[in-house]
Structure 1
């Protein structure tokens, strides 16, 4: 009997994952991860960890599997919380869920599981895994979940072959409704429980209060840039090669306060992200204002009116060489090579046609259509069919 450690989160997905593995004849052990928790910034009623760990324990009891709580709060603070503060301070927008999977669930947690002599680690992610022999190598693929509305492959876009080799995703072939049905049939306490939102295993966090712990409020200007600003009328030069064109098109617009008019004040540019609408609190415009850029050095937020503002859109983004990650290392591009892919720049986004071009200093991802709010610090993930091949941090 192979031993599997399931990350029981106290939600319905991991509960059913544990049940299915037991049905398949594995020896199953449930572990609940207690991650960093701070009541002062958590909207506690939304997702208190005590309630979750209690639900996880009740599920383990019902399934007749061993259960324990592991405290990973120190590693979580070091690898996720501190990383978030660093990124926001630099004016980038991090994705803690992607990092949590790479650094916590499939690294720290996986090490604990392997110390417990586990053959695999399982989670309740909506994604699938397949394997094949290529030459003498066994190669693992990460595939989208069967439920299009719940596919969570994007959150696992930073996993490695070594991590995938030890991972199981028991509910990847199911729809969410089927998962709830199984939980109800088995009388699991989590059957009707609402999906948790917010930071991976922490719950909903009030982001400004969270960031204010280290990034102090600092009043600055909100500057509105008109849609017909001359900034957007840059003449396209002649290019001698494809890379020059990609580099030109990947450049973001550079604004200064003189390019628009001051329409309001904010309490810190590092609390805002591109494409954000809420929190600007500026009235008097026909359409709502959206953040089109932030300048944390000068503490200025630039905003544009309406979701079709030209400042929100561009076609090409860049990933630095040391931030390119291939799950399928065998398909990694060499310098000068290209690949047609489908890509997304955020979790809920539908896949869009794009092409990759590998340059010496990194990789250009060029979308067929302009994308809204390409945001530094977020992850771009690229696919072929339903396989996620790799990802990178948007530079």
Structure 2
């Protein structure tokens, strides 16, 4: 009997994952990760870790599997929370969920599981794992979950072949309603439990308050940049190479106070991200204002009216070489090679047609259609059909 350690989170997906593995004849052990215990920043009673660990324990008890809790809060603070503060301080927008999978669940947690003699680690993610034979060795594929509405492959876009080799995703073939039905039939306490929202393991957090713990408020101005700004009406230059064109398409706009008019004040540019609409507290515009850029050095937020404002859109983005990550290392591009893919720049975004272009210092992702609110610090993930091939941090 192969031993599988399931990351029991106290939610319905991991509960059903544990049940299915037990049915398949594995020796199953439930492990709850305690990653956070500062309730001062979580909203009301949304997802305090105590309730979750109790639910996980009751599920383990019901399934008749051993259960224990591991405290990873130190590693979580170091690798996730500190990283987040650091990124926001630089005016970038991190994705803690992607990092949490790479750094905590499939690294720290996986090492503990393997020390406990596990053959595999399982989670309740909606994605699937494929295996193909290539040049006489097994290569693992990360495939989208069967439930289009719940596919979570994007959150696992930074996994490696070594991590995938030891991973199992038992609910990946199922639709969410089927998972709830199984939980109800097995009388699991989590059957009707709401899906957790907010930061991986912390729960619903008031982000500004969370950030204010480290990043001090600092008053600055909000500037509205009109669509008539000449930056949006330049004629496109002639390019002698594709690389020149890509650099032009991916270039970040640089705004100055003279590009618009001051329409309000804010408490810190580092609390805002590109594409954000809420929290600006500026009225009197025909269409709502959206953040088109933040300047954390000068502490200025640049905004534009309406979700079609040209300041929100770009056709290409860049990922530096050290941030390019291939799950399918065998398909990694060499310099001057390109590849047609589908890509997304955030979870839940529909896949967009794009082309990868590998250059000497990194990779450009060129989209067929302009994309809204491309945020530095977020992850772009690229797919072919339903397989996620790789990802990178947007520079």
Shared fold (TM-score greater than 0.5)? yes
Report what 1:232 is aligned to: 232
Report what 2:8 is aligned to: 8
Whole-Å Cα distance in 2 between the matches of residues 185 and 81 of structure 1? 38
Q: How does 1:301-312 map to 2 (within 5 A)?
A: 301-312=301-312
Shift of 1:236: 1.8
Report what 1:169 is aligned to: 169
Report what 1:182 is aligned to: 182
Whole-Å Cα distance in 2 between the matches of residues 160 and 339 of structure 1? 20
Whole-Å Cα distance in 2 between the matches of residues 28 and 325 of structure 1? 32
Whole-Å Cα distance in 2 between the matches of residues 232 and 252 of structure 1? 13
Whole-Å Cα distance in 2 between the matches of residues 176 and 374 of structure 1? 30
Report what 1:370 is aligned to: 370
TM-score under structure 1 normalisation? 0.99
1:267 is aligned to 2:277 = no
Shift of 1:132: 1.1
Shift of 1:223: 0.1
Q: How does 1:74-89 map to 2 (within 5 A)?
A: 74-89=74-89
Whole-Å Cα distance in 1 between the matches of residues 45 and 213 of structure 2? 21
Whole-Å Cα distance in 2 between the matches of residues 45 and 384 of structure 1? 41
Report what 1:25 is aligned to: 25
Q: How does 1:85-124 map to 2 (within 5 A)?
A: 85-124=85-124
Whole-Å Cα distance in 1 between the matches of residues 368 and 231 of structure 2? 23
Whole-Å Cα distance in 2 between the matches of residues 86 and 168 of structure 1? 32
The answer to whether the 8 A contact 2:36-2:49 is kept is no
1:284 is aligned to 2:298 = no
Report what 1:139 is aligned to: 139
Whole-Å Cα distance in 1 between the matches of residues 46 and 365 of structure 2? 37
Q: How does 1:34-45 map to 2 (within 5 A)?
A: 34-45=34-45
Whole-Å Cα distance in 2 between the matches of residues 194 and 212 of structure 1? 28
Whole-Å Cα distance in 1 between the matches of residues 59 and 44 of structure 2? 22
Shift of 1:44: 4.2
Report what 2:322 is aligned to: 322
Q: Which runs of 5+ in 2 are unaligned?
A: none
Report what 1:148 is aligned to: 148
Q: Deviations over 1:170-218 (max 9, x none)?
A: 0000000000000000000000000001111110111111111110000
Whole-Å Cα distance in 1 between the matches of residues 256 and 137 of structure 2? 53
Whole-Å Cα distance in 2 between the matches of residues 111 and 234 of structure 1? 54
Shift of 1:133: 1.0
Report what 2:215 is aligned to: 215
Whole-Å Cα distance in 2 between the matches of residues 44 and 122 of structure 1? 30
Shift of 1:250: 0.5
Q: Which runs of 5+ in 1 are unaligned?
A: none
Whole-Å Cα distance in 2 between the matches of residues 276 and 56 of structure 1? 35
Query: What SS does the aligned partner of 1:114 have?
Result: helix
Query: What SS does the aligned partner of 1:46 have?
Result: coil
Query: What SS does the aligned partner of 2:45 have?
Result: helix
Whole-Å Cα distance in 2 between the matches of residues 323 and 235 of structure 1? 32
Q: How many matched pairs? A: 395
Shift of 1:253: 1.2
Query: What SS does the aligned partner of 1:45 have?
Result: coil
Whole-Å Cα distance in 2 between the matches of residues 238 and 289 of structure 1? 33
Whole-Å Cα distance in 2 between the matches of residues 180 and 100 of structure 1? 25
Q: Deviations over 1:151-181 (max 9, x none)?
A: 0000000000000000000000000000000
Q: Deviations over 1:268-319 (max 9, x none)?
A: 0000000000000000011100000000000000000000000000100000
Report what 2:69 is aligned to: 69
Whole-Å Cα distance in 2 between the matches of residues 31 and 234 of structure 1? 57
Q: Deviations over 1:22-43 (max 9, x none)?
A: 0000000000000022111111
Whole-Å Cα distance in 1 between the matches of residues 374 and 335 of structure 2? 24
Whole-Å Cα distance in 2 between the matches of residues 192 and 284 of structure 1? 43
Whole-Å Cα distance in 2 between the matches of residues 195 and 337 of structure 1? 42
Whole-Å Cα distance in 1 between the matches of residues 206 and 113 of structure 2? 32
Report what 2:50 is aligned to: 50
Report what 1:158 is aligned to: 158
Report what 2:245 is aligned to: 245
